[in-house]
Structure 1
Amino acid sequence: MLDLTGQGTAQTCGGVTRRDFLQAGTLGAAGLSLAHLQQLEARAAETGAAPGNANRSVIMIFNLGAPSQLDTFDPKPEAPLEIRGPFKDISTASSDIRISEILPRHAKLAKYFSLVRSVNDNAPAVHDVGWELMQTGRFFSGGINTPHAGAVASYLMGRRTDLPPFVVLPELMGAGGGNLPNGQAGGFLGKAYDPFVLNADPSKPDFVVPDLLPPKQIGEVRMERRQKLRSAVDQTLAAFERSEDAKLLDSGFQSAFRIMSSPQAREAFELSKEPVEVRERYGMNRFGQCCLLARRLVEAGVRFVTINTFLTVFNEVTWDIHGTAPFTSIEGMKDIVAPMYDQAYSALLEDLVQRGLLGDTLVCNVSEFGRTPRVNPAGGRDHWPQCWTVYFAGGGVRGGQVIGKSDPVGGFPAERPVTPSEVVATIYHSLGYSVEHHLPGPAGRPFPLVDSGTKPILELFG
């Protein structure tokens, strides 16, 4: 993000200092800047009505750490104990789906989501690599950093309301061990398409989003004075106004002022407006409240929300169940991770259904890879990119299905293998974009949304 609050003291003829102006128009270190706002506005003006499925939104839940497919959505009850693990499989609301007993609330809602049990790649079994692949469809190589699917949606579709079009909750992904890009950025589209990042825990009693409010040191009189900046430029700096710098200053300020002063933007983030029983139904924890906030944001017009279930795989109880510290055990997954996740996801899906939002909201649950079919000596499972499960609900997806199949030990695809690029293509398909669509890539060259030959998982929409 640009740092626009330097020590410059140049004044306009209306008495507004450059530093004051930039402080008023800067929205903090949360991934949203004047440049971001200005370029989004320019894109919206350039394209007119939003293309694609204009009413469609996406909530991507990234299961950072990578759940074990055998212990969640692809159980193997007939396999030996060292393969199947300690959990039983259970029936669900869909006759085609059986899942692990540690996700009982998912079982009741299986008619709404569909599983893809054959995702695989041949990339290194490194968290950062999988993060990038599953959110952009490509691995960082040759100096090209492909934009996150949410950044692409921002570029192609623009904003619908005063809210930013692409939001990441609660924070960007942290350390993954590979020191590589995490895929949660605008990539070659530029920092203008980086997400707005909450950078706060919405489960805390004092939760606020200060980046959506005018700085405290700027009173109403000073904010009103800034609104007069355009007329001051009109009257005395005609030559400057014709320059590109003036266009950036003017459009960026108007956009920044709109979002800072928008009641709609502030209210969308105000979880205190939700009844206590609703908040508790999601779970009074970071992930649960992020799911509730995601529902409020798409309801208010945000196009793409990514929720990171966890922030890092180190020294935190996550899906990364190697079995020994600083990682998680299978018991920790059963007792802590799965109940939290099961509660929040089911509450989110139920709310989207009850509010009539699921049809136009694609909820995709993804992860960087799967886990080894055989339990390791520490009683955990290690990284395994050869086969894992993702799942989709809403956004045109027909629920209650299973796409693809793994082998008897959940180690490799046995039917309909699916790549990370196909998962990303499926998101674009839900948004109304063909895989033939191109972006302006590095050096201005056309850059396809996904690699040649990649197709969305069309069976999901049958």
Structure 2
Amino acid sequence: MLNLTGRGTAHTCDGLNRRDFLQVGTLGVTGLTLADYQAAQAAGTVDGSKDDRACIMIFNLGAPSQLDTFDMKPDAPAEIRGPFQPTSTAVPDLHLSEILPRHAEIADKISFVRSCHHRGAAVHDAGWQMMQTGRLFTGGVNTPHIGGTVSYLRGRKTDLPPFVVLPETMGRGGGNLPNGQSGGFLGKAHDPFALMADPSQPNFQVPDLLPPKTLGEARLTRRRKMRDIVDETIRNFEATENAQLLDDNFHAAFRLMTSPQARDAFDLSKEPQSLREKYGMTRFGQCCLLARRLIEAGVRFITINTFLTVFNELTWDIHGSKPFTSIEGMKNNVAPMYDQAYAALIEDLVDRGLLENTLVCNLAEFGRTPKVNPAGGRDHWPQCFTTYFAGGGVQGGRVVGASDPIGGVPADRPCEPADIAATIYHSLGFDLESTLPGPAGRPFPLVDFGHKEIHELF
């Protein structure tokens, strides 16, 4: 494996630096060859008319309580229904929680799937894998994130990378499992570019995109070494069939680091302060605004992590006692920040004519227990939860599926992670019957057999 950008600061459980997005290994390690790559480009049929489609995946790390947000049960016993009241929305007969008033105002742009479930363990990491890749990792095979697959099959449109994670990849989830936010068996070249900075901070800048005059001598030396490594690697490697692809990876990454277009796309100072405040001057709010700028600049797939870990910070993980969040903490801190930023994003995409071609999907690793626990919170519950979608061909104001009277299990139209993945691929124009070259070059289905897009959304 070649590491061209020096040491980073964020490490995954396998010891790799996510910040060093140029850690590109030779394809032979994963069993891919250039011939496989070219075949995948040809066989991974996409609808050319949808080449301008993009996706923003908002991942609600920690997992919102379906009963306190999107699938309320006001007629259930008090220990089930919780403390919040349902409120009417822009869609007749569609009710959401009172803690999400801005969602209620734009509900005609959103469609909800209230019957999601999965069979994975009730640990965050397992749910992260399944919901972001469509599969639970088995047999040592790490399935690529949907964004990694998009990167592989469609590539980049501009100097910017095709797949970006904001503000950075997920941290620890407690299960010590891969989190699913990588290129998986497709290789490190299709890992996301992670921002590794908080865009809500004063004088926010992306460290690896700073122009040379602002860099210290150490970073300038790294860039010079990178150019030398590129040149030497190409000379020594050009006789092999992987040479072209490796050459492309290095030069694409170097182009990003030196691109005025990339620096401009990440420059939030170009936005009116009033618009920044509309999104909210929070990390999540400014990530949502940055996602809109990146979509405009040609990024194909963006994942926004609402939080980075479930430990020692307020998140959707409402077990009720420290180091986790209480229901009151969700009401007073988490929901207002999230509600404001999401609504601003949808309205901004509408105003700029971008929502039609941009799917915004809001996912989570699971739901929460129907019954409130003794600490006044709710625990992990993969058996039933809600996801929702806007834009990208999705018709707003719909509800797909239903849960039982206590929000415990699907009662109608159950949907699994593979169905969610298929829905995203469908919106982006991919042929769901196509395959990827998997480990050892074996065909790997884009979507598990028998799973299709949630057609009621379109």
Structure 1 residue 4: Cα displacement: 3.1
Structure 1 residue 245: Cα displacement: 8.3
2:184 aligned residue (180, 183, 187): 187
2:149 pairs with 1:171 = no
* Counterpart residue number, 1:289: 286
Q: Render the CA deviation track for 1:84-131: whole Å, top value 9, x for unaligned.
A: 111000110011421000000000000001000000122211110000
> What SS does structure 2 have at the residue aligned with 1:111?
helix
* Counterpart residue number, 1:372: 369
2:409 pairs with 1:423 = no
Is the 8 Å Cα contact of residues 387 and 406 (structure 1) preserved in structure 2? yes
Is the 8 Å Cα contact of residues 112 and 398 (structure 1) preserved in structure 2? yes
Equivalent positions of 1:81-230 (< 5 A) are: 81-213=78-210, 214=212, 216-217=216-217
Rg (Cα) greater in structure: 1
Q: Render the CA deviation track for 1:306-349: whole Å, top value 9, x for unaligned.
A: 00000111111000001011100000000000000000000000
Q: What TM-score comes out, normalization by structure 2 length?
A: 0.88
Q: Render the CA deviation track for 1:278-333: whole Å, top value 9, x for unaligned.
A: 11111111110110111111111000000000011111100000101110000000
- The total of aligned residue pairs comes to 436
* Counterpart residue number, 1:302: 299
* Counterpart residue number, 2:22: 33
Distance 1:34 1:174 in 2: 19
Task: Give the AA of the match of 2:68.
Answer: D
Task: Give the AA of the match of 2:201.
Answer: K
Structure 1 residue 140: Cα displacement: 1.1
RMSD between superposed Cα atoms in Å: 3.1
Structure 1 residue 249: Cα displacement: 7.2
Distance 2:319 2:86 in 1: 22
Is the 8 Å Cα contact of residues 168 and 305 (structure 2) preserved in structure 1? yes
> What SS does structure 1 have at the residue aligned with 2:303?
strand
Structure 1 window deviating more from structure 2 (428-437 vs 299-308): it is: 428-437
Task: Give the AA of the match of 1:129.
Answer: A
Equivalent positions of 1:432-443 (< 5 A) are: 432-443=429-440
Q: Render the CA deviation track for 1:37-86: whole Å, top value 9, x for unaligned.
A: 999x9969995999432000000000000000010000111111111111
Is the 8 Å Cα contact of residues 113 and 399 (structure 1) preserved in structure 2? yes
Structure 1: gaps (5+ residues): 7-27
Distance 1:174 1:233 in 2: 33
Structure 1 window deviating more from structure 2 (252-261 vs 165-174): it is: 252-261
Distance 1:5 1:341 in 2: 34
Is the 8 Å Cα contact of residues 201 and 207 (structure 1) preserved in structure 2? yes
Structure 1 residue 29: Cα displacement: 5.3
Is the 8 Å Cα contact of residues 370 and 406 (structure 2) preserved in structure 1? yes
> What SS does structure 1 have at the residue aligned with 2:114?
strand
* Counterpart residue number, 1:22: none
Structure 1 residue 437: Cα displacement: 1.1
Structure 1 window deviating more from structure 2 (72-81 vs 258-267): it is: 258-267
1:60 aligned residue (57, 63, 66): 57
1:356 aligned residue (344, 353, 363): 353
1:336 aligned residue (333, 338, 352): 333
Distance 1:250 1:80 in 2: 62
Distance 1:65 1:98 in 2: 23
- TM-aligned CA distance change 1:233 to 1:341, over 3 Å: closer
* Counterpart residue number, 2:72: 75
Distance 2:237 2:318 in 1: 59
Is the 8 Å Cα contact of residues 118 and 416 (structure 1) preserved in structure 2? yes
* Counterpart residue number, 1:409: 406
> What SS does structure 2 have at the residue aligned with 1:305?
strand
- TM-aligned CA distance change 1:219 to 1:70, over 3 Å: closer
> What SS does structure 1 have at the residue aligned with 2:108?
coil
2:276 pairs with 1:255 = no
Distance 1:403 1:154 in 2: 29
Distance 1:36 1:352 in 2: 37
* Counterpart residue number, 1:400: 397
Structure 2: gaps (5+ residues): 7-16
* Counterpart residue number, 1:272: 269
Structure 1 window deviating more from structure 2 (203-212 vs 130-139): it is: 203-212
- TM-aligned CA distance change 1:277 to 1:77, over 3 Å: same
- TM-aligned CA distance change 1:406 to 1:206, over 3 Å: same
